[in-house]
Structure 1
Amino acid sequence: MKSSSILFVASVLLLAALPVLWPDPYVLSVVASAGIFIIAAISLNLLLGYTGQLSLGHVAFFGIGAYTSALMSLGFDVTLPGSDEPFVVAPKPVWLAFASGIVVAGLFGWLVGKLAFRVRGAYFVIVTISFAQVMRMVATNWVDLTEGPMALNSIPPLTLWVPGEGVVDLVTKASTYWLVLAVAVIAWLLVAALVHSRTGRAMIALRENETLARSIGVPVTHYLRIAAVGAAAIAGAAGGLYAHTVRIIDPDVFMFMFTITMVIMVIVGGKGTLAGPVVGGLLFGLLPELLRGRLAPEVQWILYGTLMIVILIFMPRGIVPALSGLRRRKRAPQARPQSAAAPAAAPAVQPPARAAGEAA
């Protein structure tokens, strides 16, 4: 087994043991909340880190997943334009509702990718921001469906069948934490499998040089859409988790600050690396809670911003690439003395012609 695989398994086991080692409900709640945004950051990293496309409207898919999952689990009726009869959807099982949130978010990812990837650079960023703002306005003003600012509440929690106990609601802090961890591991493994596949190599190729990738026949738009759908679906899963764990959502779920948080986690952790969003998410997901109550709010934000600037100045590629480079540099001096010793031993073996001349 590779060292990276051993590290991954050990990290998952250590995180899974947290409710046993540190059963404080507040700690578990904070780490679970950070875990939801780590899942969202993992999804954004697929688009930003592996295709090089900066989406500042990624929170839209998070919100779509949250609202779809909540509405499907609660049930709803709405009168569509041009129809006199209301469209009624009965409440669905929570896991079916959760899956529907992922599917709907992925469909919107395909739609936005189909439209937005016709442009690049700042134009793409503007399109994604506009899409997120449109979704927020829909959630705010379509009161018949979303309840608008009054929020959707009493959202049912996700459940799990336990032998001997039947179906159990995942409402305790420990069960919520394990649920978030399980979804995060699945999302990480899916992204890792995609990145190491032929599709992932094509994404990296167009990130490094899109013009060259086109010249050798890589269908750039096709692979960008795959990344957009995958990123949107995983963000939708994070949104569904948010809805079923918080159990109340309003249009603030589309806040622009959520996207900025995801971008910070990806860039500071190391975009284009599998561990980057996790490291950045743990750091900037837990830091505000660690500072809360100890320092004044304005001092917290100053320290938060200062730390981010310092990291990006001394580790411009992010924490994970910087640590990987340091590890390689530590290994390099051990190899140099061995390579330097080889030339010193070479003169001991004389060429045959020279040896024959000396014998004569």
Structure 2
Amino acid sequence: MTRLIAPLLLVVFALVPLWLKDPYLLNALIITGIFTICAMSLNLLLGFTGQLSLGHVAFFGIGAYVSALTALGFDVSLPFGLRVTHEGGSPLLGFCLAIVITGACGYLIGRLSFRVRGAYFVIVTISFAEVVRLVALNWVELTQGPLALTSIPNMALVLPGIGEMTLRTKMENYYLVLVLAAASYLVVARLVGSRFGRAMRGLKENESLALSLGINATRTLTVAATVSAAMAGGAGSLYAHYIRIIDPDVFLFSYTVTMVIMVVSGGKGTLAGPLVGGIIFGLLPVALRPVMAPEAQWIVYGGILIAILFVMPRGIVPALEGFARRRPKAAAQPKPLEAGANP
């Protein structure tokens, strides 16, 4: 049953622009799709390896800045009298560089921090995100600091036989995000279903047993961190070219909290969990905004999360899977005979 969730969601959301003409709601769906990609990337670590990263927003922000600076260009002074100048390039090149550079950052952080576990790893990831935020805030010559990078060009695709196509409308950006979200889902599904994915789950369930079977824990977790960071960096690139303005607030800790909420509420360790959680908690603020004040929105937001986890501790998707398994068993059980009835 739950295997059909992702294909059904893809079909449903592919048809949305055909009837939804409200640009505000379409904008909300685009932002929700971008953060759902981030949630899928975080689920690769949190759900399938059991490693909680509270600095995941760092990769999202790095991807946004790398892609924006690649498209805009820069001229910065470095130590020893060096100067680096870039005249600006294609947004598509920026998107590719964002994936490569954030993947490299994820690899380095994994190699350094996966020698520790638990709270120590969480502290390392939070510290990394804060350092990156401070760099973006204070390296004004490169990032413009609190003044923000503005006039970031829209994403442009190179189509064979057609040439470069700039995605300016919300509908074009919507379908771009939808396609990349589907691609991210397939990457995670392929990775999790492979031998490498079984190694990740083994480390999560029983690390000592996995190590005794010859699984290299550091290498496995580092590869997962690399892929996870690269996906988050790609989402950051989409965000930068869609919003067209970014500042150090892109590293806000609340973004990481949003990703964690999407993963946990939907069901960590499941493929469809981040999709369901992303849709619910991505669109919930949009539904609450017209009817209540911002302070009340956060109260309702938190209350719904608590209610979901209280009723379904493992998340929505695992609860649906459990319900689907129990229903045929209940239907197959014979009904008790009524009093006085002949056997």
**Range class of TM-score, shorter chain:** over 0.9
Q: Is the 8 A contact 1:23 1:174 kept in 2?
A: no
User: 1: distance between equivalents of 2:158 and 2:132?
Assistant: 35
Structure 1 counterpart of 2:331: 334
Shift in Å at residue 166 of structure 1? 4.7
Residue type of the alignment partner of 2:201: I
Matches within 5 A, 1:188-203: 188-203=185-200
* Residue aligned with 1:54, SS: coil
State which of 223, 227, 233 in structure 2 corresponds to 1:236.
233
* Residue aligned with 2:75, SS: strand
Structure exhibiting the larger radius of gyration computed from Cα positions: 1
Shift in Å at residue 184 of structure 1? 0.5
- The question of 1:99 aligning with 2:82 is answered no
Matches within 5 A, 1:78-227: 78-82=76-80, 84-161=81-158, 166-227=163-224
Shift in Å at residue 11 of structure 1? 2.4
Deviations 1:247-271 (A, max 9, x none): 1000000000000000000000000
User: 2: distance between equivalents of 1:304 and 1:6?
Assistant: 28
Q: How many residues align?
A: 335
Deviations 1:17-66 (A, max 9, x none): 11002122111100101111000000000000000000000000000100
Q: For residues 7 and 291 of structure 1, do their structure 2 counterparts lie closer, same or farther at Cα, with a shift above 3 Å needed?
A: closer
User: 2: distance between equivalents of 1:46 and 1:281?
Assistant: 15
Structure 1 counterpart of 2:314: 317
Deviations 1:202-254 (A, max 9, x none): 00000001111111111111100010000000000110000000010000000
Q: For residues 54 and 5 of structure 1, do their structure 2 counterparts lie closer, same or farther at Cα, with a shift above 3 Å needed?
A: closer
Q: Is the 8 A contact 1:140 1:148 kept in 2?
A: yes
* Residue aligned with 1:249, SS: coil
State which of 29, 39, 45 in structure 2 corresponds to 1:31.
29
Shift in Å at residue 89 of structure 1? 1.7
User: 2: distance between equivalents of 1:168 and 1:24?
Assistant: 24
Residue type of the alignment partner of 1:47: L
State which of 42, 48, 51 in structure 2 corresponds to 1:50.
48
User: 2: distance between equivalents of 1:296 and 1:142?
Assistant: 36
State which of 50, 66, 77 in structure 1 corresponds to 2:64.
66
Q: Which runs of 4+ in 1 moved over 4 A?
A: 3-7, 161-166
- The question of 1:269 aligning with 2:266 is answered yes
Shift in Å at residue 298 of structure 1? 1.9
Percent identity (aligned)? 57
Structure 1 counterpart of 2:339: none
Q: For residues 6 and 127 of structure 1, do their structure 2 counterparts lie closer, same or farther at Cα, with a shift above 3 Å needed?
A: closer
User: 1: distance between equivalents of 2:44 and 2:5?
Assistant: 21
Q: For residues 143 and 273 of structure 1, do their structure 2 counterparts lie closer, same or farther at Cα, with a shift above 3 Å needed?
A: same
Shift in Å at residue 163 of structure 1? 8.4
5+ long unaligned stretches in structure 2:
336-343
Structure 1 counterpart of 2:251: 254
Q: For residues 4 and 270 of structure 1, do their structure 2 counterparts lie closer, same or farther at Cα, with a shift above 3 Å needed?
A: closer
User: 2: distance between equivalents of 1:133 and 1:72?
Assistant: 23
Residue type of the alignment partner of 1:300: Q
5+ long unaligned stretches in structure 1:
339-360
Report the RMSD for the aligned CA atoms in angstroms: 1.6
Q: TM-score, normalised by structure 2?
A: 0.94
Q: Is the 8 A contact 2:58 2:128 kept in 1?
A: yes
Shift in Å at residue 160 of structure 1? 3.2
Q: Is the 8 A contact 1:269 1:275 kept in 2?
A: yes
Shift in Å at residue 161 of structure 1? 4.9
Shift in Å at residue 162 of structure 1? 6.3
Shift in Å at residue 171 of structure 1? 1.6
